[in-house]
Structure 1
Amino acid sequence: MTRKSSAYTIAITGILAAMIIMQAYIPMVGYIRITPLWPAISTIHLTVILAGILLGVRGGAGLGAFWGCISLIKAYTDATDPVTILLFRNPLIAILPRIMVGVVAGLVFNHIAKKHQKDVVGTIKMSVAGVCGALTNTSLVIALTWVFFANNANAVVKGADGSNLGWLLIGALAINAIAEALLAGILVPILGQALLRFKR
């Protein structure tokens, strides 16, 4: 790694980590809350997706883990809805999906058509990486919730049981999933191409 690329990596890592902290703790920035009874729509996944694109799989995984740890801490210290308290106090549910957001985004952008980054194909890859990263987070949260709460499904969704919990979560989180995927598909290419210009 050259001195310039090393400096870029350190600078971008620091900037994105600071953004995650601000998004997590400034109201209505990292979490847009529609109702007090259900998890907010996240914008922090955008930062982790950008980490995967700009820093690769390892950088994306690292900042995803950072986001996951903050999610875990907030679930214990600053939770505002019962679902967050129930689900995100579980370290696997809080951290693993966040790590995989960065991993998936990094894989899609940096390992498919590798030569195309700053051109039109690169922009399309960023959009695809954004959508895939966002859906990875929601999908894994639903899957892990089903694994851990299949025997206590009614605690997560009233009237649910082990056989239908997954489907009920998909329905309940559909708005979140669609909104987060659309945000990522539109904003990640805009922000990513701007930041990629500084990479040497």
Structure 2
Amino acid sequence: MQKHHATATTTLLGILGALILLQAYVPMVGYIRIFPAWPAISTIHLTVILAGVLLDVPGGAAMGLFWGAVSLFKAYTAPGDPMTLLLFQNPVIAIVPRVLVGVAAALVFRHWLKRWQGGRATTIKLALAGIAGALTNTLLVIAFTWLFFASRANQVVPGASAANLAWLLIGAFAINALAEAAMAAVVTPLLGKALLAVRRRARR
């Protein structure tokens, strides 16, 4: 039974990893670009959030690490916009927020709200896990950007200073943050409940 569980986990990680690659490299699938010079709205966080929900902290962190590594590689080989080129060539900005997306989703769903059981409670719990994962990514990208670029804020946002860079970044990423959190709040319960049911049946 334990060997079967390990095999199933490895298979699921492989499927989710392949999905991240597909999202990262197929145009308008993993990154939805509305304006050419504006940071794209991501959908890859949904895959990492689901990894955290299905596979707890280790699985969520592993998929987040994979997403971060892909982000770092793409920033050097095929940046989609000037901000991506500037920010995501930094390994900390590219990787750490992505890892913590999966961790945050797993903690909310499997640990902090684990007593919430039943259909409606599970739906709410999945939605909150999705929102937590999405906002974790955006807020940490902003925080690390301020940390690394405060002394040269003008490179990130023309006319910015160390004093106002964080607020300008919050304003710049506000649309992305709201869109990604809204997607996660809707998609995580829809897919999460179905995948959790499949996973439970597979264990029997």
Q: Which residue of structure 2 aligns with residue 163 of structure 1?
A: 163
Indicate yes or no: 2:179 matched with 1:179.
yes
Equivalent AA in structure 1 for residue 59 of structure 2 = G
Answer whether contact 1:45 1:101 (CA < 8 A) is retained: yes
Secondary structure (helix, strand or coil) at the match of 2:198 reads coil
Equivalent AA in structure 2 for residue 17 of structure 1 = G
Cα distance between partner residues in 1 of 2:155 and 2:20: 30
Cα distance between partner residues in 2 of 1:129 and 1:85: 29
Shift, 1:126, TM fit? 0.7
Secondary structure (helix, strand or coil) at the match of 2:37 reads coil
Cα distance between partner residues in 2 of 1:195 and 1:117: 16
Instruction: Map 1:14-93 to 2 at 5 A.
Output: 14-93=14-93
Shift, 1:116, TM fit? 4.3
Instruction: Map 1:98-117 to 2 at 5 A.
Output: 98-116=98-116
For normalisation by structure 1, the TM-score amounts to 0.96
Q: Percent identity?
A: 61
Cα deviation digits, residues 54-74 of structure 1 (max 9, x gap):
000011001000000000000
Secondary structure (helix, strand or coil) at the match of 1:158 reads coil
Check 1:27–1:79 CA distance in 2 against 1; reply closer, same or farther (3 A cut). Answer: same
Cα distance between partner residues in 1 of 2:18 and 2:116: 29
Shift, 1:12, TM fit? 1.5
Answer whether contact 1:142 1:169 (CA < 8 A) is retained: yes
Shift, 1:120, TM fit? 2.0
Cα deviation digits, residues 119-154 of structure 1 (max 9, x gap):
321111110000010000000000000000001001
Answer whether contact 1:117 1:123 (CA < 8 A) is retained: no
Secondary structure (helix, strand or coil) at the match of 1:22 reads helix
Answer whether contact 1:118 1:193 (CA < 8 A) is retained: no
Q: Which residue of structure 2 aligns with residue 140 of structure 1?
A: 140
Equivalent AA in structure 2 for residue 85 of structure 1 = L
CA RMSD, Structure 1 to Structure 2 (Å): 1.3
Q: Which residue of structure 2 aligns with residue 121 of structure 1?
A: 121
Equivalent AA in structure 1 for residue 21 of structure 2 = I
Shift, 1:115, TM fit? 4.9
Check 1:67–1:120 CA distance in 2 against 1; reply closer, same or farther (3 A cut). Answer: same
Number of matched residues?
Answer: 200
Secondary structure (helix, strand or coil) at the match of 1:61 reads helix
Cα deviation digits, residues 144-166 of structure 1 (max 9, x gap):
00000001001100110000000
- Structure 1: state its 5+ residue gaps: none
Secondary structure (helix, strand or coil) at the match of 1:173 reads helix
Equivalent AA in structure 2 for residue 15 of structure 1 = I
Q: Which residue of structure 2 aligns with residue 13 of structure 1?
A: 13
Equivalent AA in structure 1 for residue 144 of structure 2 = L
Cα deviation digits, residues 12-41 of structure 1 (max 9, x gap):
211111100000000000000011112100
Cα deviation digits, residues 38-90 of structure 1 (max 9, x gap):
21000000000000000000110010000000000000000021100000000
